[in-house]
Amino acid sequence: MSRNRSIRLAREVLSTRYLNVDEVVNRIEVTARTSAVQRRRSGPPPITRVRLIQRLLSGFHPPLRENAVTTLVLRRLGHAADLVIGYEPIPETTRHRRLFAWVEVDGVPMGTSLPAHTYLQELIRFPHQERHEHVQV
């Protein structure tokens, strides 16, 4: 990846530094409406690089926020990235369901070891217009 592209990544990440998760998700929606997804990309989406820059520049944050920022930056780079939130099919004995967030690019979970496709149940995905079937918890 070129130095210019890394600087652009850093700028995009820094622009989200003082945003909370709601605002990041809103920006994902806005970006999805206003900027087109590029059909042909030169390589795989730079998820690891985005996360590395994000953690170096902004510190560590909960996975939901980190994945939201990653999705936003990838969207701005022209990748068809989605932020997906899912839950375990079997609840905890504490009666809660654990929620998980991950990034999907072109429908494939990336940068995660979660068994997103085969085990976790999808709850919601952003941006909304590309949302799959809504699952009732």
Partner 1 sequence: MNTSRCEVHAGAVVGFSGILRTGHPAEVLVEFSCGCRVRTTGPVEVGPFRSSNRGTVSGWDPTSGLVRRGALSMVPVYYTTRSTPAGAAVSFSTRLGDLVDAQTPVLDTAVAALLAGGDVPAPLTVYQDVFRLPPGTGVGIAGGRQRLHHETFDYTGLEVSRRRDRRASALLAEALAEALDDIPHHPIVGVSGGAGSTVVGRVGNRPMVHVHVDLPVLAARRERLDSTVEVIDGTPWWRRICGDALPPYLEELDPWLVTLTATNAGTPVSALGLAHLFATVPGRRQWWRSGWRLLSVAEPPPQLYGKPWWSAWWRPTAQSTNPESADAEPSAHPWLTPQALSTGATASNARIPSHLVAGHDPIVAAIAQRTLDLLDRVEDCRGVRTSVPVLIATHPAVVGAALVVARRNGRRKADQRGLPAALGGLLPEPWRPADPPPLPRLRLLAAAFVQEQLGSEQRRVDLLEKVEDTAWIDAAHLKEVLADPRERLRSAVSLLRLCATVARFPQVLRRKLMILEADGHG
Residue numbers at the binding site for partner 1 (CB under 8 A): 48, 51-52, 55-57, 59-63, 88-95, 111, 113, 115, 117-119
Least distance (Å) between residue 125 CB and partner 1: 19
Q: Classify residue 9 by burial, with Cβ atoms within 10 Å: 0-12, 13-18, 19+.
A: buried
Cα dihedral 119, 129, 46, 50 sign: negative
Residue 52 or 124 with smaller CB distance to partner 1: 52
Distances 35 to 72, 74, 92, 96, 123 between C-alpha atoms, Å: 12, 12, 40, 38, 25
Least distance (Å) between residue 126 CB and partner 1: 20
Residue 2 or 93 with smaller CB distance to partner 1: 93
Least distance (Å) between residue 5 CB and partner 1: 17
